[in-house]
Structure 1
Amino acid sequence: MYLRGHLPSEINIYSLKSDFVKTYKSGLRIEAGVKVSYVKSDNRVNYERKVPNGWVPDSRNNHFIYDENINAAYINASKQLKKWTLQGGLRMENTNTKGTQVIDNSSVKRNYVSLFPTAFASYAFNDKNSLTLSVSRRLQRPNYQDLNPFTFFLDSLSYRQGNPYLTPQFSYNYELIHSYNGKLITTLNYSKTTDVISNIINRNRGANNEIIGFLTSDNIASFTNMGLAISAPVKIAKWWNVNLYGNLYRNHYEGTYISNETGSPEVVALDIAFTSFTVNVANSFTIGKGWSAELSGWYRYKTVEQLNLAFPMGQLNFGLAKNNLLKGRMSLRLNARDPFNWQYYRGLTQYGTVDFNLNNRWDNRQYGINITYRFGTQQNQARRRSSATEEEQRRVGSGNG
């Protein structure tokens, strides 16, 4: 069977926000604000099937409209009390969504209110030692295209399909940070996420009882992450400085998903955990006469990402710079990013009857030459202003990996 298709998609985002900040003589600082956003996503899929006399519309054609309105308000308060720095806040969000499949006039509606408290406390023991504790509740909403129920064919035996029943994932995050001399930073963190939005590989039976694989997203698990991270600058020589970062952590996914491989829904249990580490090293060298060089790289041991076991990967970067050219007005910089092409993704997915290997290699090598010439003094720098639609624009892409 031959198919051809046209899949137009249009996403319109409207947002309005207002913020208020006031600092009192006592040192108390109050921040408050409101935000209203509206998103309309209009998606069509028009497939045509090849027949002897030409092309005819396919039965899988669809039209999906997603409307989302979020009304939010927040208030934060912060104050310095001798050796203490305290901050607390609360954000409330009212969410109203509706996903409609126009062809059969079916819809999924959701209306809910969520509260997101935050608390932060820092204590300075002396000039060199401080301890900071922070607690917060956050959410991550699904991308708009992941809510789209259309079928996107990858080949004759596999396809991708969105899920209009996806809900946001919520997390509680705890972090304890010790700082020594503002340089040696030690961080303990713990987070618990529920209704994790995960990409899953499932399988159905086709019209001829053949097994057809499909990729979709679902709220299938809870996720626990705990870790210990240390970062510090090290001066090895007068001309050689190193910034070191290491993170030892454990990821644990636990939950269930629905399999239709046998022809009827079947609950399959998931329990995937792994302990891993990441190391990042950045070297800077002062060569002299305006010359400097950089050598940086990172390595990540195999780990669990969503429901995949991701194998080790890393990257190495080089840089060379010359300043004070043309009486200090010009600088030259050469850089090479991942010249050995070590950054590529290999993964393994195993749960239920799914056994899937992924080897995703791309050419990540980049080489650059940057020349900067200053015509005059620049006293003022442009201030970056945040957009009211930044969060919504981040969700335009597909996938949550």
Structure 2
Amino acid sequence: MKNSFTILSVEDLKNNRDLVRRILESQGYKVVDAENGLEGVSKAVEISPDLILMDINLPDIDGFSAVTKIRSYPQLASVPIVALTARNVSDDVERAIAIGCDGYLSKPFGVKDLIYEVSSRIGKPRKAQEDTKREKFLREQTTNLVTELQQKFSELTEVHEELNIMHERLQRLDQAKTDFIHIASHELRTPLTMLHVYTDMLRTNPKLTSDKNLSEMIDGLRKGVDRLSDIINDMISIGRVELSTLELVYSPLSIRGVIESVVRDLKKAIIERNLTIEIEIQMTLPSVVGDSSQLTQIFKRLIGNAIKYTPDYGKITVSAIPYHGDTKHLSSDDNAEFIQISVQDTGIGINREDQRLIFEKFYTAAEDTSRHSSGKTQFRAGGPGLGLTIAKGVVEAHGGSIWVESDGFDANQNPGSTFHVLLPCT
């Protein structure tokens, strides 16, 4: 009886699978689907169908290879196989018959054609054909290749599944870390505010400030509080960058003015480290459009890093020029103009493999992970690894980009580094 027959349909396109299923089920057949050649082979072995419909164009192995593999199983040697294909290749019919197919239908086929091809072959085991010695060897070789491919595909599938699991775990860990930063930074702000207030009160008490030792202790306490405040502010900033909640107030700005302001703020550190800093920015350079506070913080981080990673008596150069390179990735406006600001130092440089990663959250170059001193301008002092991530987020929020160039890391030869920032101008 028709309804006792099982047909395996091997077809990668869902619409085609559904169509074949509807036609055949209307005739009382049971239909089992497979979406690719290797799955078709596996299901054929599993269910031993009464007939197989094999698409030739499949995403993993083609139908010819799948048929060859199926025919290598003794229990499937006599199962009728009908090839289905939209290919327009002159010798496909001969090839299909040669490798073990019993029938052949070209797409698009009619409903009656499919029903006739199935009904005329199902339940009628094919007659075994005697292979020549050469054909036998070729068939065995093809079968071995398909078997090897099955094993490789299975291994790749397992690796893919493991990678997906690891990726999901990393995403959860990253989200947990972000949540912790957000909660911790806000929870720490309240006691930190109290510390600020109390240290200010201590600094204004004449009885305490008149004692040199106590005065130095209070100053040291205040420096520690300020450093902790900077770190907490960075933690809050990184949360805003990740959530795209930065509040930017745009206005025309003089880049030279922004850089000069930053250099004035860092003057003490520059003098203490015996560094030379030069500003090479023309007064006639067009203004940039941006948030004054945020851009000031960006260049404070970049120049601060230059100070931190440049040995004493080194040199830092800050320059800015109109940018004439490709900006299609930044703006759809062909007439958009950009300014390139560069912060160059004569410091220890950055390994090439680190140059892309240093903009990732919490990433610290390998040569600095063993250093435990913390600070903004001490030579090679450590930090939380958030500054460049924040800088990247703020620059991109302005419609710009940031990147670094360096010949590599060398604490003896000091090849230096140059950080470039592109910002839109008026």
Structure (1 or 2) with the larger CA radius of gyration: 2
Normalised by the size of structure 2, how large is the TM-score?
0.17
Normalised by the size of structure 1, how large is the TM-score?
0.18
**Greater helix proportion:** 2
**Greater strand proportion:** 1
